[in-house]
Each structure stands twice: as C-alpha cells, then as structure tokens.
C-alpha cells in the first residue's frame, strides 16, 4: 500500500554655468576685480584620465563580480538534480532517477514489455516510495514498490533488490487480463491492492514523462546536474549492471564502456541509463554518436551538446568513467 508514515532510522560637485557671466565693476567689491574669464575652469567631463577611469573600472568590476556571483549561485543552487523532459518536465534526485531507469529498463528492455508497463510501474513506485528503495514501511512493506515478504513478494533481500522487485511487479501486472487497456492508476491498483487506491492517479503524468524519457523513444530527454566525481566503478562493473538491468551487452574498455546498439532507440535507452546512474557509478560523460552529456554541477549539466569526440554512428554509445 502507499507508504504513509516515515520511520527512517537515519554628493557630487555641481557647476553653476552662467552664474557670473554678467556683472558690474564695483570698486568696493573685491570679487569684482577678479577676471572670471581668465580663471581656470573645471572640466565638464573627465575624459580618459586615470582619475576618471578608476571609478569606471571599479563599477565594472563590481558589476562583473555581481554577474559572475549570480551565475555561480545559479550553477550551485540546490542539490544535485536529474531532469526528465519528454512531453513534460519533472525533477528528481540522482538516487530516484537511477531507480526510475532501472524500473523502466527491466520492463521494456530485459522483459521486452511495452512502454505502457513502464508507466504503470513508475507511477506505482512514485506513489509507494517516491522512487526510493526504502528499508521500512507499513507493517513489513519494503523497497521501491513497498512489497511485503509476508505476501509472497520475496525475501527482504530480494525485495530490496530493485531488479528483483521490478521484475516481480511486472510479473504480477502481466497476469491481469486486459491490463494494457486499463487506465494506469487502475492497473497499478490491480497489482498493489492498496488501501488508498485513488493515490496512484496523482502520479500518472510523472510516470508517463519518466518512461518516455527513459525508454529511448525521446533522445536527449534525461540530464543530471552533479558534483564532480571522486571515484568510479570499474568498466567491468558497469557492463555487468547494464546487462543485469537491461539485458544488453556492452563492452568494457580501459577508461570506460562502449555499446553498439541495433537501433537509435536502444542507444538512447543505454545513454539515459548511464546519465541517471552517473552519480552512483562515477560516470563523467555519455556520448551517443555526435551528441554528448558532460557531468557538471551547473546548467551545462542540464543539456546535451555537440560531442568534442564523437562516438561514431548514431547507434554508438560511449560512457566515460572518472579516474580511468
């Protein structure tokens, strides 16, 4: 049932022009003996003198500093975030994003189900756990889908494995007659048998956007703004995780991973997986053909750009790891 109670253990000068333009000579007026025409006059403007350039430079420096300070604030405001933008826009933490990619890929790639299944699963996981692999919940509920060992979903260890829990969800979903024609929230309730069946409807839109962003049908729709990577997994470990979650076989290299896809959809599925798992695996860049996402804490991390070193064809993917 949807998780409802958190029990986490863990004054400037002025000139008066014309003021003395006309005056009468007065022997008793000492000022009148002064020739105002011969007196030195103050310049109307500074010109390009050092005395005038100093304040200009100071103002420019202050303005420039304020601008760059503002840009720095924009680049570092908030926590690291991943964004999904296919037919809408939703932001999630790197942890949530990685779990979402695992859920979608287990269904659409490893099990070969249609994207509709991914929509149902993601909608359910957002409702139940907010896409977090929880070690607690209502009664003995655990994991992304708040599945219960006492209800036959598996052991605690199995339920806390995102691949196992996702596969178990899809197995139950596909046993429901006509689930493909049901509304997403209805299908979710058929699987979960929740005590709050109306809760799923609140997250259908997010489930649809995340699935479309992750299943490869919408290129360049997943980005993450992340802090610099300090460590990374080995290329072999990344290859193993891709195989476990997607059923696809990539190749480990000395400094990263490469994948040759049969279609652009599959290439972008692997690319989306890599971006969402960049935080956990220490991935620094992901390249698909001539397009590239580079790990960056600022706004540059929220976009795909032309690759400085293309990966090859539009179906070729290169994943670079930190310190390799």
Quick one: CA torsion of 212, 262, 171, 277, rounded to 10 degrees?
-60
User: Is 58 among the domain residues?
Assistant: no
66 belongs to a structural domain? no
The structural domain count of the chain equals: 2
Whether 251 and 197 map to the same domain: the answer is: no
- List the chain pLDDT tens, one digit each, 324 residues: 554 434 444 444 333 333 333 333 343 443 333 343 333 344 444 544 455 444 544 444 555 555 545 455 556 668 999 999 999 999 999 999 999 999 999 999 999 999 999 999 999 999 999 999 999 999 999 999 999 999 999 999 999 999 999 999 999 999 999 999 999 999 999 999 999 999 999 999 999 999 999 999 999 999 999 999 999 999 999 999 999 999 999 999 999 999 999 999 999 999 999 999 999 999 999 999 999 999 999 999 999 999 999 999 999 999 999 987
Domain that holds residue 103: 82-215
204 & 311 share domain: no
Is this structure's pTM higher than 0.95? no
Q: Which distant-in-sequence residues (6+ apart) come within 8 Å of 323 by Cβ?
A: 229, 231, 232, 282
Residues 241 and 189 in one domain: no
Distance linking the first and last C-alpha atoms of the chain: 44
Examine the fold and report which residue of 197, 215, 233 is the final residue of a domain before the chain moves on.
215
Q: Does residue 146 lie in a domain region?
A: yes
Select from 160, 192, 215 the last residue of a domain. Answer: 215
Q: Phi, psi at residue 319, to the nearest 5°?
A: -120, 115
């Amino acid at each position: 049932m949807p998780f409802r109670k958190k029990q986490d253990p863990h004054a400037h000068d002025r000139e008066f022009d014309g003021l003395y333009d006309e005056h009468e000579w007065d022997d008793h007026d000492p000022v009148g003996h002064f020739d105002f025409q011969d007196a030195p006059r103050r310049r109307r403007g500074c010109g390009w003198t050092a005395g005038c350039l100093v304040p200009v430079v100071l103002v420019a420096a202050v303005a420039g500093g304020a601008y760059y300070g503002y840009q720095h604030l924009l680049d570092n405001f908030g926590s690291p975030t991943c964004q999904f933008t296919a037919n809408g826009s939703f932001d999630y933490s790197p942890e949530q994003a990685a779990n979402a990619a695992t859920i979608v890929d287990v269904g659409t790639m490893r099990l070969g189900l249609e994207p509709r299944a991914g929509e149902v699963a993601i909608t359910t996981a957002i409702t139940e756990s907010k896409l977090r692999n929880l070690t607690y919940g209502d009664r003995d509920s655990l994991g992304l889908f708040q599945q219960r060992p006492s209800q036959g979903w598996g052991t605690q260890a199995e339920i806390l494995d995102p691949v196992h829990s996702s596969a178990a969800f899809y197995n139950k979903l596909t046993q429901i007659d006509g689930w493909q024609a049901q509304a997403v929230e209805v299908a979710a309730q058929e699987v979960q048998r929740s005590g709050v069946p109306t809760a799923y409807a609140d997250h259908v839109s997010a489930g649809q956007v995340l699935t479309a962003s992750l299943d490869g049908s919408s290129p360049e729709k997943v980005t993450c703004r992340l802090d610099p990577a300090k460590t990374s997994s080995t290329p072999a470990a990344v290859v193993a995780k891709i195989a476990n979650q997607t059923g696809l076989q990539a190749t480990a290299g000395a400094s990263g991973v490469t994948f040759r896809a049969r279609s652009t959809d599959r290439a972008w599925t692997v690319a989306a997986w890599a971006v969402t798992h960049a935080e956990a695996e220490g991935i620094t860049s992901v390249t698909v053909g001539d397009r590239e996402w580079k790990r960056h804490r600022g706004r540059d991390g929220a976009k795909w750009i032309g690759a400085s070193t293309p990966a090859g064809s539009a179906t070729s993917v290169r994943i670079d790891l930190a310190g390799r």
